[in-house]
Structure 1
Amino acid sequence: MHTERLEEYLETILYLIMKNQGPAKTKQIADELNVAPPSVTEMIKKLSSMGFVEHIPYKGVELTYKGTEKAIKIKRKHQVLETFLADVLDLDRKVAHREACELEHAVSDHVLERLYEFLGSPEYCPDGHPINIDKCTLGEQERFIPLDEMKEGSSGTVARVTLPREAKERLNSLGILTGKEIEVRRKQKQGCISVIAVGSEIALGRDVAKKIFITPCGGSS
């Protein structure tokens, strides 16, 4: 349990550093983990003594080289497990995320790599983020949302599609390409979403729309 808690902190700090593009604030860590700020302060001291983090007065918490390596490894475990739960077991994204949080601390490196191979070595997790990040790309926090979460009348640019190759090629032939603009025309009760791409209206099922990630125009969603 002690190791599990340490890993949760490191993963949370990594997430906040990527989100902030700078140090993680103590209050942010407390809010993310739903704990009291004094508990965060105590854990930060412990992580610092272990060489995982550095606390910068008035700025926040940074990961050391050692801490970054550890946090990236934990994050990757989470993403691979979440991909399996969402894509193979067909769990809802939020449920898959929650379950992956529980499993990531127990699965061995060997099992994880076998699972990653079984999945076909995917590039992205169900949230559209790269699975194999490195220290050079930590500051590159992309701003996108799944197409199925966009509102009627909103538009944006296709950031990436995380569907299998055949399905992706089919969408490409319809004009849904990375870097191209797309507009949500209608969202129907049965889950279908009608979009405008390269001047044509296309109907997409929710299972497809949730794998298309959009960078909204003007921050709309």
Structure 2
Amino acid sequence: MDLSPIAEDYLTVIYRLESEHGRPVRTAEIGDEIGVTAPSVTSMLDNLNEEGLVDYTPYEGVELTEEGELVVRRLIRNHRLLETFLTDHLGYDWTEVHEEADRLEHHVSDELARRLSAFLGDPATDSHGDPIPNADLTMPEETPYTPLSECEAGETVVVEQVPHRDPDVREFLSDAGVGPGTRITIDDVPPVDLLIVELESEGHTVTLPIRVARRIGTRSVDDRVY
């Protein structure tokens, strides 16, 4: 099936919103994410529904079909393999690769993805710590990371997974010196939705909003495999 990049973007947005909300996705939510009008969303959903990629009922919402989910998992696999290649072999920083991979993911064949994965050593996670679907498009089990927000004062952990889709959050973490591999110690957890951590490599403390710390995956230094 030949899909345009914009059609694939619609499916990806539906996949993510379904995962976040656990319910059918509203057309207004899709329009807000993609930045298009309601009639444009409705037209695309009608087309995707005819292709058997979504189940769409006007005024009730839209869900991916099994076939639609497979399309998205293929895109996720392409995207995360590309991010890993760009950071590991082309010198990109983890903060730079998301948009590059967004542009390229639509043009990767299954054969190229297979060869790229083999070249990278068939990684289970990408450069941000997110799981990579395997060649059968099976998503690995949830990664065994502990959200930074759940760590206790005095605990030392290593950052394994970082949020990177939101440019503002990405820039904030980069400026603070927090990224994959950063070793930090929890200094304090004030009762005001903040977390104070000390960065071992930088030798200074950083205050993180709990809403950001909740999206940072960590592993205890005692559990980390080197």
Instruction: With the length of structure 2 as denominator, give the TM-score of the two structures.
Output: 0.62
Contact 2:74 2:137 in 1 (8 A): no
Contact 1:77 1:104 in 2 (8 A): yes
- Aligned partner of residue 132 in structure 1, secondary structure: coil
Q: Could you tell me which amino acid in structure 1 is paired with residue 150 of structure 2? A: G
- Aligned partner of residue 104 in structure 1, secondary structure: helix
Q: Which runs of 4 or more aligned residues in structure 1 lie more than 4 Å from their structure 2 counterparts after TM superposition?
A: 133-138, 140-145
Question: Are 1:11 and 2:12 counterparts?
Answer: yes
Q: Structure 2 vs 1, CA of residues 196 and 94 (structure 1 numbering), >3 Å: closer, same or farther?
A: closer
- Aligned partner of residue 106 in structure 2, secondary structure: coil
Higher helix share: 1
Q: Structure 2 vs 1, CA of residues 119 and 58 (structure 1 numbering), >3 Å: closer, same or farther?
A: same
Deviations 1:133-153 (A, max 9, x none): 799979x799977x7xxxxxx
- Corresponding position of 1:104: 105
- Corresponding position of 2:81: 80
Structure 1: state its 5+ residue gaps: 148-154, 159-173, 179-186, 206-211, 216-221
Q: Structure 2 vs 1, CA of residues 106 and 54 (structure 1 numbering), >3 Å: closer, same or farther?
A: same
CA–CA distance in 1 between the matches of 2:146 and 2:38?
A: 30
1:56 Cα deviation from its structure 2 partner: 3.5
1:194 Cα deviation from its structure 2 partner: 4.5
Calculate percent identity across the aligned residue pairs.
36
- Corresponding position of 2:125: 124
Contact 2:87 2:93 in 1 (8 A): yes
- Aligned partner of residue 35 in structure 1, secondary structure: coil
Contact 1:19 1:141 in 2 (8 A): no
**Which of 127, 143, 157 lines up with 1:176 in the alignment?**
157
Deviations 1:160-187 (A, max 9, x none): xxxxxxxxxxxxxx96379xxxxxxxx9
Q: Structure 2 vs 1, CA of residues 78 and 141 (structure 1 numbering), >3 Å: closer, same or farther?
A: same
Structure 2: state its 5+ residue gaps: 160-172, 188-197, 203-215, 220-226
Q: Structure 2 vs 1, CA of residues 51 and 26 (structure 1 numbering), >3 Å: closer, same or farther?
A: same
How big is the alpha-carbon RMSD for the aligned residues of Structure 1 and Structure 2? 4.0
1:58 Cα deviation from its structure 2 partner: 3.9
Q: Structure 2 vs 1, CA of residues 48 and 142 (structure 1 numbering), >3 Å: closer, same or farther?
A: farther
Contact 1:56 1:62 in 2 (8 A): no
- Aligned partner of residue 10 in structure 1, secondary structure: helix
CA–CA distance in 1 between the matches of 2:176 and 2:32?
A: 36
- Aligned partner of residue 54 in structure 1, secondary structure: strand
